[in-house]
Amino acid sequence: MDGEPPWKIPPLAPADSSGSIAAGVRLLVLPDAAAVAEQVAATLLREALRPQHRPLGLATGRTMEPVYAALNRQLHALETAAAERLRRSWCSFNLDEYVGLAPTDPRSFAAEMAARLVDPLDLEPAAVHLPDGLAADPEAEAARYRQALEAAGGIGLQLLGLGLNGHVGFNEPPCSAEAPCRVVMLSPSTREQNAGTFGGDPEAVPDRAITLGLREILAAESLLLVVTGAAKADVLRRALQEPATPELPASLLQRHPRALVVVDAAAATALDPCRLPAAAPQ
Ligand code: GLP
């Protein structure tokens, strides 16, 4: 919690024609997923305690499970007054939700947030916003969610995971940087990636979702992309070290002026070592 914010890490070399990490991106490589979770939780907590911060942008998925566990531990280690201030001022908007799942359905992202965030941190449920997966008109719900986020001032710090096909939120490839919050069709690979929550059956994963678009994500004050595990090493390399393209939505994050990428050693193995900072202060 103490010390300089990670944003103060000296800039990497600017992008050149060979495709190095872009100038606005800072990279922090930590030994393992546990260390990543502690770092990311500390960054979220610091942001949540910053006076007059904009809403937090939150993500779900397996990568985030240890992050929320660490956030829970760190919040309970805070002084009572700080913890109370955080609870009172909490406002977050999640990236996405499946169409067709009630918030009480244990497979929904709303239920995941209730179990990992709202209940353990004792937050006001109404302060943790997600799209309503059961809305009768999903397109209208996407528009309502977009407007609610706008009315709240847009995202301050946006937490992001990385899909195996390069999606962020549920912005499936191809996806333009201008795509707004909307209803999307999920790709077969994403339904397969997320089948674990649905008894291992990709067909049981809803085929649609409401997601914040790259437009709202790229409008955030800062981005915090979290990537762990060897399975994501190649997509991380393409996202950071190949030219930005709609074919790999995560690569469009290179355009952001304040993006911190926190990864474990396993996810970093495919990155070109010549283009990494010699030492990244934490
Ligand atoms: C999911 C979610 C994303 C998530 C990503 C990675 O489909 N929509 O928000 O960050 O894919 O998921 P995981 O962390 O489980 O690999």
**pLDDT for position 24:** 85
**pLDDT for position 19:** 42
Annotated active-site residue in 112, 172, 216, 264: 172
Give residue ranges with CB within 6 A of ligand 1: 59-63, 95-96, 161-163, 169-170, 190, 194
Instruction: Tally the domains of the chain.
Output: 1
Answer whether residue 14 is part of any domain: no
Low-confidence stretches of the chain (pLDDT beneath 50): 1-20, 277-281
**pLDDT for position 13:** 36
Spell out the long-range contacts of 139-142 with Cβ–Cβ below 8 A and sequence spacing 24 or more: 139/182, 139/183, 141/210, 142/181, 142/182, 142/183, 142/210
**pLDDT for position 273:** 82
Answer whether residue 195 is part of any domain: yes
167 is catalytic: yes
- Select from 158, 159, 162 the residue to mutate for testing ligand 1; criterion: most ligand atoms less than 8 Å from CB: 162
Answer whether residue 18 is part of any domain: no
Burial class (CB in 10 A: 0-12, 13-18, 19+), 85: middle
Domain of 175?
27-272
Annotated active-site residue in 112, 167, 256, 264: 167
**pLDDT for position 16:** 39
**pLDDT for position 18:** 40
Answer whether residue 128 is part of any domain: yes
pTM: 0.92
Mean residue pLDDT of the chain comes to 91
- Residue 163 CA to ligand 1 centre (angstroms): 5
Answer whether residue 156 is part of any domain: yes
